[in-house]
Amino acid sequence: MTTDLSALSRRAFLERMSTGLTGVALTHLMQAVPIQRPHFAPRAKQILQIFCPGAASHVDLWDHKPLLEKFHGTPLPGGEAEVSFQGKNGNLMRSPWDFARAGQSGKMISSMLPNMARHVDDIAFIHSMTSRTNTHGPGCVNMNSCFTRDGFPSAGSWVSYGLGSLNDNLPTYVAIQDLRGEPPNGKANWSNGFLPAQHQAVSMSAQQMLRNLQRPTAVSGREEEATRDFIHFLNEQHAAERPGNQELRARMASYELAARMQLAAPEVSDLSHESASIRELYGTEDSNHLKAAYARNCLLARRLLEQGVRYVSLYCASRASAVDGLLNWDAHKTLKADYERHCPIFDQPTAALLTDLKQRGMLNDVLVVWCTEFGRMPTHQQGTSGRDHNPDAFTTWMMGAGVKGGISHGATDDFGRRSVEDVATVYDFYATVLHLLGLDHEKLTYYHNGTNRRLTDVHGHVLKDLLV
């Protein structure tokens, strides 16, 4: 056997060492970039999350309780001394509105939601949800990120990290804000947390798209293009001197996306291209300006999904206000008056969005999920005609790609006070969402502070009975 002495030369040694170190660096970088592909064949490609902040009452909207009607005005059995978020509770209080059967499934749904009632055969209700908190801010963040504390990535950010973009000219993740403002805990609901910065949602609405998109009139198109090319050259030089700096790369990508959005965003947000019949279906010109604003946001959500935005969060209502407590679904004092304001804003536009998605065939790829942060008590809050917070029972639902419609998972007790059958958590909820996207919730991880973090923490099971 002969020996190749050239392999032992100083030059060859340094050359091979540099190649090896390049491989090590490349391996590290590959671990830091998004997966960009599913773990297995997905049923869904996109997510539409509809979020009603303020803890929308399950026993007044989705979860019919005949015994709550029968024993209205009597004490909650075993709960006479129970203290909830704001103190002691009074007697059982039936819903101010009747429930009616809907669809072939015969699902009982509030008469306050006549338009949504037409979709019950396509919806899988989860009636046994529970929350880890009874406070709005942490509750909203928990429903979006599976953690009650700020600083953790939202579900949309995890999906962006795991699957990447379907449209290079629009954000991967968009949060559409209600005209009334941001939800409790604001931007923490769509934060990227410790994930790279490009996975944070871009916040917008039909009323206010993205600021500063228009080119100054004094700058020509050629000048702007030349400027962008020069900045790109400088950025690449700067990044080359700082290899492995993912935050720097993320910021560069964000600015480059903003430049591309100068053309794409105004077009997708121009609702004037929609037919009069579509605008009427949604109610975009309704005399109730809050309903019209939400309707335009619903229509914007469809257009964003149509253009390939991966994850759209659509908010209906906002954080509480010291001036006007009716900005969200938090009905502590006057439930009847509050929901007779909220339900008409929510019902027609949301149902129209679902109808529109279905008619266009988009529900073959889009998974729709409806969320709120927790439920409400079956009793009235002492001294009021409202309901206090209830983290032990609430409803969420799913519809669309890969979901079995016309069913219900789990159940609350006879009065809707606690989840008692097939109890579900937010971890189970998102384990199921990720599964439908082709992602194993236990394998979608990101190394941070010495551990492999994941959306579902160390919990979660796929709710298989919801799946087709």
Q: Judging by beta carbons within 10 Å of its beta carbon (0-12, 13-18, 19+), is residue 9 exposed, middle or buried?
A: exposed
Asked if pLDDT for residue 420 goes beyond 60, the answer is yes
Asked if pLDDT for residue 437 goes beyond 80, the answer is yes
Q: 4-8, 204-208, 333-337, 391-395: which range is least confident on average?
A: 4-8
* pLDDT tens for each residue of 348-362: 999 999 999 999 999
Q: What percent of the chain has pLDDT over 70?
A: 86
CA distance 440 to 454: 10
214 domain-assigned: no
pLDDT at position 454? 97
28 domain-assigned: no
Cα angle value 356/360/362 (rounded, 5°): 95
CA distance 178 to 207: 9
Structure tokens at 83: 């203290």
Confidence of residue 240 (pLDDT cuts 50, 70, 90): confident
How many other β-carbons are positioned within 10 Å of the β-carbon of residue 250? 16
Coil vs helix vs strand at 184 = coil
115 domain-assigned: yes
CA distance 324 to 410: 35
Tell me, what CATH number does 129's domain have?
A: 3.40.720.10
CB neighbour list of residue 268: distance below 8 Å, 6 or more residues apart:
170, 300, 303, 304, 307
Structure tokens at 16: 């091979």
* pLDDT tens for each residue of 332-341: 999 999 999 9
In this structure, what are the phi and psi dihedrals at residue 385, rounded to the nearest 5 degrees? -115, 35
Asked if pLDDT for residue 25 goes beyond 70, the answer is no
* Mean pLDDT estimate for the chain: 88
Structure tokens at 365: 């790829």
CA distance 196 to 327: 33
* pLDDT tens for each residue of 438-453: 999 999 999 999 999 9
85 domain-assigned: yes
Q: Do 159 and 44 contact (CB within 8 A), yes or no?
A: no
Q: Do 454 and 445 contact (CB within 8 A), yes or no?
A: yes
The stretch 151-174 carries a mean pLDDT of 95
| First-residue to last-residue Cα distance in the chain | 64
- Give Cα 346 to chain centroid, integer Å: 16
* pLDDT tens for each residue of 279-329: 999 999 999 999 999 999 999 999 999 999 999 999 999 986 544 446 899
pLDDT at position 168? 84
pLDDT at position 449? 93
160 domain-assigned: yes
Asked if pLDDT for residue 262 goes beyond 70, the answer is no
55 domain-assigned: yes
The stretch 412-433 carries a mean pLDDT of 98
- Give Cα 108 to chain centroid, integer Å: 26
Asked if pLDDT for residue 370 goes beyond 60, the answer is yes
131 domain-assigned: yes
Dihedral Cα 130, 133, 136, 137, nearest 10 deg: -120
Asked if pLDDT for residue 50 goes beyond 60, the answer is yes
Q: At what angle do helices 155-163 and 136-145 cross, to 10 degrees?
A: 20
Say how many domains are in the chain: 1
CA distance 398 to 462: 13
Taking 3-state DSSP, the helix, strand and coil percentages for the chain, each rounded to the nearest 5, stand at: 40, 20, 40
193 domain-assigned: yes
CA distance 193 to 156: 11
Of residues 357, 360, 344, the one with CA closest to residue 295: 344
Residue reference for tokens 């998102």: 430
Structure tokens at 181: 């403002």
Domain residues for 299? 39-209+269-466
Residue reference for tokens 């789990």: 410
